[in-house]
Structures are given as C-alpha cells and as structure tokens.
C-alpha cells in the first residue's frame, strides 16, 4: 500500500472535478490523507509522497520558500496544475517536483519556453493581432531548462466531473469539504448515468444555437467572446444573454448546437454539457492542444471555427440546415466521450503508479 498525502485548495472545481477520481478511488493500493494545510504537511505529516492540487491559485503567487521546504521533506511530489487552459502560469514549481500534471498541454511543448501575453496562446494572439492589453498584465515564468519539460504530463480535465451543474448542491459540497472533511464532497456527486443514445433521444431540438456567455474581466481573455457576440448579434438563431443556472441547463439539454467559446482557458464546462445533451459542439479551433477526455476531433466530434470568428455564422447555419451531419458529429462525440469516461479508473491508477513507483 502507498500512503499518499493530497494537499488541495478547496473550491467547486477541486471538489467536483479535479478531485473526483481520488474521492471515487476503490484501489486499496493507494491510501489518501487529505488536507488543505501546507503547514500541517511540514510539521505533522508522516507520509513520503505528496500530491498538490490547485495550489497557488488564490492568491495567484507561487510560494517558492514553501516549495523548497516541501521538496526537502518528501521523497516524491506530484503537482497537479489545475487551470483550464494550455498555458501554465506556475512553471516556477517545476524544479521542485517530480511530475507536473495538467488538464491540457500545448502540442508544441517549446511554447512553454516563450513569453505569451496573458499566458495563453489565444490571449497572446489577440494582443498581437488586435492590440488588446490588460490593465494588470504581468510576465509569467517560462521554462529556461529544456530538460524540465520532461516532467510535464497530461492528467484529466473537467469532463470527468459532476454534471449537470447545480449551484446549491455543489456549494453545499464545498462547504462540507472546507469545514469538515474533503472526502465528504463525494456524497454530493450525481451518479454518472450518461448514455449517448439517451442523450440524443431526449434532446427535443427546441433551440437552434445555445450561445449564452458572460464577459470576463480580463480584456485579452474575453476579446474572443466580444468578437463572437458582435458576429451573432443580428442573428435570431442564437440564444444570448444571461440566465440562471437552472435555465441554462434546461436550454442546453434541448439545443441543436452549443457554442462554447474559450474562457479563462480553452476548456469549458459547456464543452461537455454540449456532448452530454446530444448537441453539436461548435468551438474555436482546438488543434494546438492535447487534453483528456479529448472530444475535439475536427468535424468528427466537434466543429471548429477560426479564432477571429469570421466563419462562425456560416458553420452554424450549415449544420442547422444539415441535420444528419449534425447528428452524426454529435453522436460520434457522445460515444467517444462515454468510452473515455469508462477508461478513467485505468488512467487514474496508471498515473498514481507512475507517481508512487
């Protein structure tokens, strides 16, 4: 048996997505001790393996002194970077860990040796092409020792988590995790009953294109959303504007197409909500990324459009007019997604074995 300490930040993403493979684990080879207190790790923990999840996000600052102390104490450290994009804003930790797992990786790993404006490839794109600047722009660490890139690994993304979203239920799970015990979050999970055939059959196709999205308060990140909203503002085929989470879920379940722009990262909850609802996923091109579950096979499991959104309406209208092709891609995505979810336990055990052995 391997005794492993899991040091995790506690919020909705950690409790209902990032941590779910740990909390659902039934492999007795791995025994987890959960904590949110780094000082406890340094002063009281007797385990020799440490897994860090969602650390240095709030505040957004890497504590290098803490990393040095943890490195001195533990035989093995695995850092699970937990942002939603391919950009990695916490590369400073690389020298202090054995493995660095992330939800998504740039296919070109050498991008991590370059300075990207806003730390994402797409925020850098909008900055350079359209002159979009952030009032709080900051330079992030980059990889200067190429050998450190060998520590980068792909883990799992938010597709493996809790759907459909429920604000009150998830908030309760976070509260119990934060103030009582982290593993209590699993008692608030919805049982995974996703069926590709059922999702397609239950979708009544009441709405053409679901495109409800908010504006993020960082210009280089949200510029894509502004471009999209400008393109579709005169079209009656797109549902836009803010609604409650309940209404969002209801509409998404009966939409023919779901438009999912980038947010704080390329990966968004609505990517997987689209597939779960039997809708066609319409999304900015994802060809620069590697992720898992991977539902981003162009024109096979999703339909990509240009980052300038200049082909967005054309593609949306094409698939609204070609129902069989829309259904083919949506069903492909659902079956691929289901097969990957069924592989999660094997993937989790393989990753843990790599960390421990």
Per-residue pLDDT band for 252 (boundaries 50, 70, 90) equals very high
| Residue 277 pLDDT | 97
pLDDT tens-digit map of 287-338: 999 999 999 999 999 999 999 999 999 999 999 999 999 999 999 999 999 9
Q: Which of 244, 283, 279, 249 is nearest to 263 (CA)?
A: 283
Residue in 217, 220, 215 with CA at minimum distance from that of residue 230: 215
Q: What is the pLDDT of residues 113-151, one digit of tens each?
A: 999 999 999 999 999 999 999 999 999 999 999 999 999
Q: Mean pLDDT, to the nearest integer, of 272-277?
A: 98
Q: Give the percent of the chain with pLDDT over 70.
A: 100
**Domain residue ranges of the chain, discontinuous segments joined by +:** 2-186+343-356, 190-341
Q: Considering only CA atoms, which of 228, 212, 214 is closest in space to residue 126?
A: 228
Give the model's pLDDT for residue 5. Answer: 98
pLDDT attached to residue 150: 97
Burial level of 66, CB count in 10 A (0-12/13-18/19+)?
middle
pLDDT of residue 4: 98
Mean pLDDT of the chain: 96
Kindly tell me the burial class for residue 148, based on how many C-beta atoms sit within 10 Å of its own C-beta (0-12, 13-18, 19 or more): middle
| CB contact at 8 A, 80 and 53 | yes
Range 59-81 average pLDDT: 97
* 117 close to 128: Cβ distance less than 8 angstroms: yes
Q: For the structural domain made of 190-341, what CATH number should be given?
A: 3.40.50.2000
Q: Which residues contact 231 (CB under 8 A, 6 or more apart)?
A: 309, 310, 312, 313
Q: What H or E segment, with its residue span, contains residue 71?
A: helix 64-73
What does the alpha-carbon distance between residue 312 and residue 317 come to, in Å, rounded to a whole number? 9
Question: What pLDDT shows up at residue 75?
Answer: 98
Res 194: pLDDT? 95
Q: Please state, for a pLDDT cut of 90, what percent of the chain lies above it.
A: 97
Distance CA 219, CA 21 (A): 34
**What pLDDT does residue 332 have?**
98
The average pLDDT across 184-206 equals 95
């Amino acid at each position: 048996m391997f005794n492993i300490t899991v040091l995790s930040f506690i919020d909705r993403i950690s409790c209902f997505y990032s941590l779910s493979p740990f909390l659902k684990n039934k492999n007795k080879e791995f025994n987890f001790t959960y904590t949110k207190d780094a000082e406890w790790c340094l002063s009281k923990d007797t385990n020799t393996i440490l897994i860090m999840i969602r650390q240095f996000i709030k505040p957004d600052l890497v504590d290098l002194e803490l990393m040095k102390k943890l490195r001195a104490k533990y035989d093995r450290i695995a850092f699970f970077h937990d942002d939603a994009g391919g950009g990695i804003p916490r590369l400073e930790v690389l020298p202090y860990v054995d493995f660095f797992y992330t939800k998504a990786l740039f296919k070109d790993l050498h991008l991590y040796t370059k300075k990207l404006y806003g730390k994402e490839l797409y925020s850098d794109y909008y900055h350079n092409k359209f002159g979009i600047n952030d009032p709080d722009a900051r330079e992030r660490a980059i990889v200067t020792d190429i050998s450190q890139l060998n520590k980068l690994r792909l883990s799992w993304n938010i597709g493996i988590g809790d759907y459909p979203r429920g604000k009150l239920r998830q908030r309760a799970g976070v509260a119990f995790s934060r103030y009582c015990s982290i593993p209590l979050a699993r008692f608030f999970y919805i049982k995974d009953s996703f069926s590709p055939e059922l999702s397609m059959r239950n979708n009544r196709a009441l709405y053409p294109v679901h495109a409800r999205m908010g504006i993020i308060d960082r210009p280089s990140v949200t510029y894509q959303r502004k471009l999209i909203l400008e393109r579709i503002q005169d079209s009656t085929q797109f549902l836009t504007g803010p609604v409650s989470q309940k209404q969002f879920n209801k509409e998404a379940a009966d939409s023919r197409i779901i438009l999912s722009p980038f947010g704080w990262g390329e990966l968004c909850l609505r990517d997987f909500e689209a597939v779960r609802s039997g809708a066609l996923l319409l999304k900015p091109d994802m060809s620069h990324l590697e992720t898992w579950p991977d539902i981003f096979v162009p024109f096979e499991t999703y339909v990509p459009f240009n980052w300038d959104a200049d082909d967005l309406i054309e593609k949306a209208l094409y698939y609204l007019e070609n129902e069989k092709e829309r259904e083919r891609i949506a069903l492909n995505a659902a079956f691929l997604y289901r097969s990957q979810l069924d592989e999660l336990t094997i993937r989790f055990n393989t990753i843990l074995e790599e960390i421990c052995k």
